[in-house]
Structures are given as structure tokens and as C-alpha cells.
Amino acid sequence: MANYAAKFTTADGVYTGGYTSLEVVGNYRDESKIGRGVVQIHITAGTVDLQSKLTEEAPWTTIKNYTTSTIEEIVIAPYFRVVASDSAVCYYAEHS
């Protein structure tokens, strides 16, 4: 069961034509700053990159590229976001 679930959001609320979501900071329940979670990727057109980084200063790293809609478990780094090449809506849930 998820401890927390939300949509990857954008500053303007537009999810078509390509976008980079706002940065998400994990809602951690312990001091490890690494958690487990689930992403739901719903692609209408294009692809979605799930990106993470370990510190504010670290560069973004693509940890998975999605070409079809899916739901799957992931390791959640302290910071993460999605980059859509066209039209997609993406969600995440954290669990312990």
C-alpha cells in the first residue's frame, strides 16, 4: 500500500507537446533518503524518461526510458522527475 501518491506536475498544467515535470523530493519515512515506489506512465504520444539524482547539485540521470504505458516498481532517489517528448501523464507512489 502506498504511503503517498501524486501526479508528476508541470508549472503550467500542460501535459502535451513535450514537457519536463517539476522536481519531486521524496516523502521519506526514515533517514535513508532512498525508498521504494511505483510509477504509472500513461503515454498518448512520444516517450517518457524517468530521471533521478542523489543531491541538489548532482546532474539529472535518466534511469528508465518508457515507450509504452506501464506500471512498475522503482527505487526512488531523493530527487526525481519525468521528461515527456510529447503527450503523457505520469504518477508516482511511495511505499515503505
Q: What is the full per-residue pLDDT of the chain (96 aa) written as tens digits?
A: 456 788 999 999 999 999 999 998 876 555 555 678 899 999 999 999 999 998 999 999 999 999 999 999 998 888 999 999 999 999 998 875
Q: How far apart are CA 26 and CA 42, in angstroms?
A: 21
Domains and CATH numbers, the chain: 4-95 (2.60.120)
How many C-beta atoms lie closer than 10 Å to residue 22's C-beta?
11
Answer for the pair 90, 6: CB distance below 8 angstroms, yes or no: no
pTM, two decimals, is 0.87
Q: Count CB-CB contacts under 10 A for residue 66.
A: 20
Q: Measure the CA dihedral 30/26/62/93, to 10°.
A: 100
